[in-house]
Amino acid sequence: MHAELLDPSDLHIQRCAQALQSGELVAFPTETVFGLGAAVSQLGAIEGIFKAKGRPSEHPLIAHVAPGADLTGWVAELTPTMQKLMNAFWPGPLTLVVPKGERMPFEVTGGQNSVGIRCPSHPVAIELLKATGVPVAAPSANRFGKVSPTRASHVLAELGDRIPFILDGDVPEVGIESTIVSLLDDQPAILRPGAITAEQIEAVLGVPVKSHGEVSKTPNANPRVSGALEKHYSPDAKVWVLPASELAALELQDKTLCVGWTDEFLAQADALREKFGEVLVEALSDKPGEVAKALYATLRQADELACRQVLFEKPGQTPVWEAVNDRLKRASA
């Protein structure tokens, strides 16, 4: 098989919606990362997602819905808490884990009674979901354990020989996977940090939210969240996360990509280049959102440029950097 790469014209979106309805896989852009979609009603296609990714089939998938979609039967109940979060953050990068409805197949939920559901804000995703008419299960469109794709070319490189369609679209605004909040227990809990923070969710709900830090300290917290595996989101290059002050003492042998944003880090990286030669330096904007947006493409670039390692500037240890720190920790594990 060789994937067709389609620009997001109305005609192509209709064609991809029909493909989804008839049980084929379609990769599509969202505001977080590209997803590998299958209609939740097409169990053969759901199985195909796990095959294409090489992902264990007990890992649950996120079901994507269009704005205003009727969730009856897909989730057990529309609670006031859900409603508040949907009103505040949908469409957008927030996944709600809630009790599943009877129409939602266990194949999507990894055999669990709960389902992760989200309404993306990328216009191409919205048009595709509207045209498809049923929820679309979609993990990130990468091979298991690898860096999530933020360009259609990333999907083509990794899954092009395994899926029939890749829908293109504007570069994801957010760049890292959605925040996942579980509403299964009395206290909402962050299972995966993302662009929407615990503080923002607390402000909307008016109740305390268990931070990702607290959740991950609980033994066996949620082994079903594949993003919770220690090593995940990794390029082939080795990733080191370190502050500017540690660059000067390094001895480099292999081709290296340095990525940072402070003047100090970039100056130290330039000094490394003068000393050792094969050192590439990439400057990012110092805003957490901009670093998140560029993160995965930058990690992939290291592989594309045949760098053996990446030296990534260590971000601040503050809530606004939590999601980036989380992904960097896993990429460097």
Radius of gyration of the chain (CA): 20
Contact flag: residue 225 with ligand TXA (CB under 6 A): yes
HSE of 317 in the Cβ direction (CA atoms, 13 Å)? 5
Q: Is the distance from CB of 291 to CB of 174 less than 8 angstroms? A: no
| Residue 149 binds: one of Mg ion, ligand TXA, none (C-beta under 5 to 8 A by kind) | none
91 cis-preceded (ω within 30 degrees of 0): yes
> Which residue in the set 30, 95, 114, 140 belongs to the binding site for Mg ion (CB under 5 A)?
140
| Residue 178 binds: one of Mg ion, ligand TXA, none (C-beta under 5 to 8 A by kind) | ligand TXA
**Which 4-33 positions form the footprint of ligand TXA (CB under 6 A)?**
30, 32-33
Nearest approach, Cβ of residue 39 and ligand TXA (Å): 15
Judged by CB under 5 A, which stretch of 60-68, 136-144, 254-262, 270-278 contacts Mg ion? 136-144
Judged by CB under 5 A, which stretch of 70-78, 95-103, 138-146, 287-295 contacts Mg ion? 138-146
Nearest approach, Cβ of residue 306 and ligand TXA (Å): 27
Q: Is the distance from CB of 25 to CB of 165 less than 8 angstroms? A: yes
Q: Is the distance from CB of 142 to CB of 52 less than 8 angstroms? A: no
Nearest approach, Cβ of residue 235 and Mg ion (Å): 14
Q: Interface with Mg ion by CB under 5 A: which residues?
A: 140
Q: Interface with ligand TXA by CB under 6 A: which residues?
A: 30, 32-33, 35, 59-62, 93, 95, 97, 109, 112, 114-116, 120, 138-140, 177-178, 180, 191, 222, 224-227
